[in-house]
């Protein structure tokens, strides 16, 4: 793979950013992060023309790279502060991971598909991103690395996994698309005490499912 990011890609990215603004993304730090990540390098070279369209796209293994609007929307909701410890469920292509890293946070990311885990663990460091990668089940989170300031789930969850609620710091925020059908409700949970959560539902999105019962 050639790791090229030239004026053409940068121009396309600027247009993508303008499109996101028009769709209502106003968080300048998030728009700057989107502008900094070479999304075309997360996709097959044959699909360059799709790299900067605001759509999701297949990345193999039946999975997708999230739509830039969705990535921007979720990243904004996390209310990230530099140095935050963030748990991400569903590494996939690593595009969302890269956007998080551009926000100056520490990322712990989990993927259950070995192929994607291997591919992305190899790719991201080549692009200068060094999150901590884990091959495992997002429903369980990472008890050994908890607590986290923020938790981001990038697959549609039928319910909010209890382990992820536990692993969130008091005062922390979880962003998770909830629903077991075709569409999920983007949901924000703010942890107000050891057992208390304030829940806000925003709007519907479409994600690939957060899968359970993997045969290990």
Q: Which is nearer to ligand SAH, 169 or 206 (CB)?
A: 206
138 binds ligand SAH (CB under 6 A): yes
C-alpha torsion sign, points 8, 9, 11, 16: positive
Please report whether residue 154 would count as binding ligand SAH according to CB under 6 A. Answer: yes
- The region of 20-28, 47-55, 104-112, 192-200 touching ligand SAH under the rule CB under 6 A is 104-112
Residue entry with tokens 């993997």: 214
Region of 88 please: left (phi>0), alpha (psi -120 to 50) or beta. beta
Q: ∠6-7-13 over CA atoms, to 5°?
A: 95
The distance of closest approach from Cβ of residue 193 to ligand SAH in the complex, given in angstroms and rounded to an integer, is 27
Query: Quick one: tokens of 63?
Result: 């999975």
Q: Applying CB under 6 A, what is the total number of residues that bind ligand SAH?
A: 23
CA distance 112 to 213: 11
Q: Catalytic site residue 193?
A: no
48 touches ligand SAH by CB under 6 A: no
Binding site for ligand SAH (CB under 6 A): 63-66, 89-90, 92-93, 95-96, 110-113, 116, 137-139, 154-155, 208, 210-211
């Amino acid at each position: 793979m050639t790791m090229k990011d030239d004026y053409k890609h940068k121009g396309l990215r600027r247009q993508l950013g303008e499109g996101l603004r028009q769709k209502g993304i106003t968080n300048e730090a998030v728009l700057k992060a989107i502008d900094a990540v070479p999304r075309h390098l997360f996709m097959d070279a044959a699909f360059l023309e799709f790299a900067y369209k605001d759509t999701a796209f297949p990345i193999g293994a039946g999975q997708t790279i999230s739509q830039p609007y969705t990535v921007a929307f979720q990243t904004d909701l996390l209310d990230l502060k530099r140095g935050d410890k963030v748990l991400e469920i569903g590494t996939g292509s690593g595009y969302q991971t890269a956007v998080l890293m551009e926000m100056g946070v520490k990322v712990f990311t989990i993927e259950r598909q070995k192929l994607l885990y291997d591919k992305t663990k190899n790719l991201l460091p080549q692009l200068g991103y060094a999150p901590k990668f884990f091959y495992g089940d997002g429903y369980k989170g990472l008890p050994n690395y908890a607590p986290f300031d923020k938790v981001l789930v990038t697959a549609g969850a039928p319910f909010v996994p209890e382990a992820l609620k536990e692993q969130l710091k008091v005062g922390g925020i979880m962003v998770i698309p909830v629903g077991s059908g075709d569409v999920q409700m983007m949901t924000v949970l703010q942890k107000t005490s050891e057992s208390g959560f304030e829940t806000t539902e925003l709007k519907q999105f479409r994600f690939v499912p957060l899968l359970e019962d993997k045969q290990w």
